[in-house]
Amino acid sequence: MSEKHYAVHWQEEEYIYPPPSFVGQANLTDPSIFERFSLDNFPECFKEFADLLDWDQYWHTTLDTSDAPCWKWFVGGKLNASYNCVDRHLDKYKNKTAIHFVPEPEDEPIVHMTYQELYRRVNETAAVLRDFVGLKAGDRVTLHLPMTPELPITMLACARLGVIHSQVFAGFSGQACGERIWDSESRVLITIDGYYRSGKLLDHKVNGDQAVEVAKKLGQDVDKILVWRRYPGKYSSAAPMVEGRDYFMDDLVKQYRGKIVQPVSMPAEGILFLMYTSGSTGRPKGVQHSIGGYLSYVTWMSKNIQDIHPEDVYWCMADIGWITGHSFIVYGPLSAAASTVIFEGVPTYPDAGRVWRIAEELDVNIFHTSPTAIRQLRKAGPDEPAKYNYDFKHMTTVGEPIEPEVWRWYYNVVGKGRAAIVDTWWQTETGGFLCSTVPGLSPMKPGSAGPGVPGIHPVIFDDEGNEIKPGEGKAGNVCIRNPWPGQMQTIWKDRDRYVSTYYGKYNKDPNSKDWRDWPYMAGDAAVMSSDGYVRILGRVDDVINVAGHRLGTKEIESAALTVEEVAEAAVIAAKDEIKGTVPDLYVSLKPGYEASQELAVKISQAVSTVVGKIARPRSVHIVPDMPKTRSGKIMRRILASISNRGDVGDVTSLANPDVVEQIRRQVQS
């Protein structure tokens, strides 16, 4: 990161105080919390997190640093995540709704699944996985499931057995899924025949078949594909079921109806799941999360930052295929005994009132979404929320920076001026929130995530490792001084990459066992105000944040290079009114090939096929040559300035300065 790239000019926003009605009922209003979670009390303060869980065997060591920077939390403890999210609530809440499932077709009834029903379904699914498939603790299973209740049910069934799930976002291509199957060495894929999106029942099983083929080519055989059906008994995919390999889950679970599977007592440091995310190199990394640390962290955050009480109806509109959904649709809310909403489809289909109609019908009082969804809803129906009779006490924004103006619409129009808002900054790697206000204690500041949550101590470093003090007004790399229980354990099978990516820049002694020597580098640029509030500016690595989703530029570029004609490819983040940023792709061709519209479409389709539709570039610019330094490095910064109609700066030192003006005319004309 270079500070030069970030001219930091903005006005400090005014504080907005949480409504007294919210504060009066909030779970956390004790201001001594920050003192209790000061670094002086680290790591023992995190006992409070672990104590929110039911343990089969209590832990003896809060934090073990002997394998730094692979931190071990709550060592000696044993527990089961599925038990904590389901079984332990049965005494008090068995007839309470655990999951509200809102199907996209509005004439299909909403499903209200009680904790008792969830318990039954998780058990029979676990029975299939254990007794029919033969899975056992430590095995990996890839899930490629969309937003239906079968996704959390399958995750919890895996967790019950100690099986490690690796859910791949349903919008990713079969190829992307196949690569993740291969990396995680899964012998089983769990998918579904189809699901709804924007009025269409999409064929999903075809992706599963492709994924298995891709994995096989890479050297990983899949023995079984387990296929849920969107409508049990009625198969909706064009992909054939392969005998001896493919099985319908709804048929299998019938054979295990009523079967109870004892939750496997797992070590706190066992692995709960893998979640692949994009980084600076082409290969996605399998972020590995623990059972005890992760679950305690998301439970505490759900209770105190999301302010979930068991009587609340909580709706996080993310997809469970991303970390937000894992932590804050499934594990956190269910561990906190909430009623959590699972929503199929997109927010603005069939119309801009859909979200608010659901909020009214289900009496949702906690709402959680991304700036992109807020911008979309604001554009499609700025006056819609007022037409519906719902009442949010609390709202969250997550995934990308939110413009103060968009924040104000969220606050005034969606929240009707009555809800507390938290802007939560965190990452796949961090398991749960890093920066956010505590909603019942601290004022909100539009566009700023807030200070570290209790127990998290952020700091901003310049490139040389000097601390940039709060209020200096300079941007730098945001780091966290201390480890925390929700933090990833490592990158699956790649400890070196874990150490170099997150600690390579600021650790000075690789042999140190002292956590103070290992500040965690998040990969974001940020500024800290004098009050300690952190404003996130964006990624400092080759990652593009599209609609709150992380995409690696290298992944998109490699996809473009699969097209025969393409010689070089460079992706940059172009500003977008709705999605924050979107990929813009520049390519140059091998000698003898001509640019054409058809070729641009072919390249764009290659990106969709290899990565997924979400990565499809806004435009494909076929340019005569890439702007390059004398050493041959493509100057992406110049391409980004052209796409964003900014100043390209001084280009005279390039190897080919003339091409810059040619590209500018081509792109901006």
For ligand PRX, the closer of residues 548 and 627 by Cβ is 548
Question: Does 550 help bind ligand PRX (rule: CB under 6 A)?
Answer: yes
SS3 assignment, position 442:
coil
Build a one-symbol-per-residue string for 435-464: x at contacts with ligand PRX by CB under 6 A, - elsewhere: --------------x---------------
Interacting residue with ligand PRX among 225, 295, 323, 551 (CB under 6 A):
323
Nearest CA to 307 among 483, 442, 401?
442
Which of 300, 550, 321, 552 has its CA nearest to residue 436? 300
99: three-class secondary structure by DSSP: strand
Of 62, 82, 173, 277, the one binding ligand PRX by CB under 6 A: 277
Q: Does 426 bind ligand PRX (CB under 6 A)?
A: yes
Specify the residue, 125 or 288, whose C-beta has the smaller distance to ligand PRX: 288
For ligand PRX, the closer CB: 427 or 487: 427
Q: Are 480 and 522 in contact (CB under 8 A)?
A: yes
Stretch binding ligand PRX (CB under 6 A), from 97-105, 134-142, 322-330, 608-616: 322-330
Considering only 428, 442, 490, 553, the residue that binds ligand PRX (CB under 6 A) is 428
Nearer to ligand PRX, 151 or 488 (CB): 488
- The span from the CA of 491 to the CA of 499, in Å, is 9
Structure-block tokens of residue 164:
């490690």
Per the CB < 8 A criterion, the answer to whether 102 and 291 are in contact is no
Please select the residue that binds ligand PRX; options are 104, 524, 555, 584, rule is CB under 6 A.
Answer: 524
Contact 367, 394 (CB under 8 A): yes
Decide: residue 390, CB within 10 A, 0-12 exposed, 13-18 middle, 19+ buried. buried
Closest residue to ligand PRX using C-beta atoms = 428
**Residue 327: CB minimum distance to ligand PRX, A:** 8
**63 beta partners:** 73
The number of C-alpha atoms within 13 Å of 159 and in the hemisphere containing its C-beta is: 32
Among 97, 125, 324, 372, binds ligand PRX (CB under 6 A): 324
Which listed residue (202, 421, 536, 611) binds ligand PRX by CB under 6 A? 536
**Which amino acid is located at 3 in the chain?**
E
- Specify the residue for token string 């303060």: 45
Taking residues 370 to 409 in sequence order and writing x for each that binds ligand PRX by CB under 6 A, - otherwise, the string is: ----------------------------xxxx--------
| Residue 78 touching ligand PRX (CB under 6 A) | no
55 counts as binding ligand PRX under rule CB under 6 A:
no
Task: Note whether 82 binds ligand PRX by CB under 6 A.
Answer: no
Give one word for 251, left, alpha or beta, with left for phi > 0 and alpha for psi -120 to 50: alpha
- Please answer whether residues 479 and 519 qualify as being in contact, where contact means their C-beta atoms are separated by less than 8 angstroms: yes
Interface with ligand PRX includes 427 (CB under 6 A)? yes
Nearest Cα neighbor of 253 from 98, 133, 407, 374 is 133
CB 310 within 8 A of CB 304: no
The minimum distance between CB 251 and ligand PRX, in angstroms, equals 36
CB of 189 to ligand PRX, least distance (A): 23
Q: Which residues of this protein are in contact with ligand PRX, per CB under 6 A?
A: 277, 322-324, 398-401, 423-428, 449, 522-524, 536, 539, 545, 550
